[in-house]
Amino acid sequence: MGLGSPSLLLPLLVFGVAACTSASSNFHGEIARVDAARIHVCHGFDCRNTTRLDMGAADRATLTRIMEAGSPGPAQERAAIARAVQHFEERSTEVIGVRDEARSNIAQTGQVGQMDCIDVSTNTRSLLLYLAEIGLLRHHVVETNVTRGAIVDGRYFHATAVIRETGTGERWSVDGWYGPGGAAPQIKPMSQWLGEGFLGGS
């Protein structure tokens, strides 16, 4: 029985209720321009809406303190990145005024504050670029977001932000879509992340 058969595609359509609305994850223009003063936060699915988050002295001090714990090595830095994402998502929730719910539901398309994996992965990459911009990434560099899934392979589209460990070259996914806004993202080797997601699983 092929993956394209109706009996296998039906579960995908059911699980696909909680899924991304696009296979794209690379945005350009204003969304992609990150500096030490502000980040544009995507929401509403596929970056339909953006809200400016001004990164002031307090944010910089908090993120500096968080990332200092990651200075000993790559594993510690990945743990610090997870905490930095949590801080960033809490700040994003403050400025948008709505907390993103865990996963995403197609019925939430266009809703202020709700984010599919395109929004989440774009926002996470923006934060990672911000950390790099202000010199807080010591053991990793930020790479282009990656998308997995093609429907016919038993998986819906899903995107993640990506970092590469400078010492070993190993790539890691930084995926915050599975939890609500402010939860720690899942950070996994890319080889593991790329093999997951069948029938809606993480």
Furthest-apart CA atoms within the chain: distance in Å: 58
Taking the C-alpha atoms of residue 137 and residue 198, their distance in angstroms, rounded to an integer, is 32
Q: What is the DSSP letter of 100?
A: P
Taking the C-alpha atoms of residue 172 and residue 168, their distance in angstroms, rounded to an integer, is 11
Per-residue pLDDT tens digits for 154-187: 778 899 999 999 999 999 999 999 999 999 999 9
Q: Output 27 or 162, whichever has higher pLDDT.
A: 162
Per-residue pLDDT tens digits for 105-131: 888 988 999 999 999 999 999 999 999
Cβ 70 vs Cβ 77: under 8 Å = yes
Q: Give the DSSP H or E segment for 63.
A: helix 57-68
CB burial of residue 129 (10 Å; 0-12, 13-18, 19+): middle
Q: Which of 79, 43, 54, 19 is nearest to 181 (CA)?
A: 43
pLDDT of residue 7 exceeding 50, the answer is no
